[in-house]
Amino acid sequence: MSKRDELSINQQELTAAWQRTLPDTMQKADRAEVMADEADPKALRVTIHTAGHQMYSFDFKVTYVDSREIQTTLVDVEKDGKSIDERTDIIQQLVEDYTRHIHECAQALHELTHA
């Protein structure tokens, strides 16, 4: 029986690595917060605040399926602290962008996550 490809880093170290790396994969003006998901040891919570006057914030759950692959789930989009419809074109475009940045960050951390 083969050993499953498990994540070999603890959540605290993983969170710290994401906090260091994610800003490098994003546009400089946007701001990201990364926190451990307390309900799931293989998951992180990522909040991205858009630059400029839009005042959008995007909440994602990033779950490690294995040591290389992540699953990114949009949890919520807010504007000025209020939930908004995330199906509009501009929001969908931003979600795609940020999802790509999140995946780039995960790739940049492969050395750390894939022991």
Architecture of the domain whose range is 11-113:
2-Layer Sandwich (3.30)
Sequence ranges of the domains in the chain: 11-113
pTM value? 0.92
Contacts 24+ apart (CB under 8 A), 36-39: 36/11, 36/12, 37/11, 37/61, 37/63
* pLDDT tens digits, one per residue of 20-53: 999 999 988 999 999 999 999 999 999 999 988 7
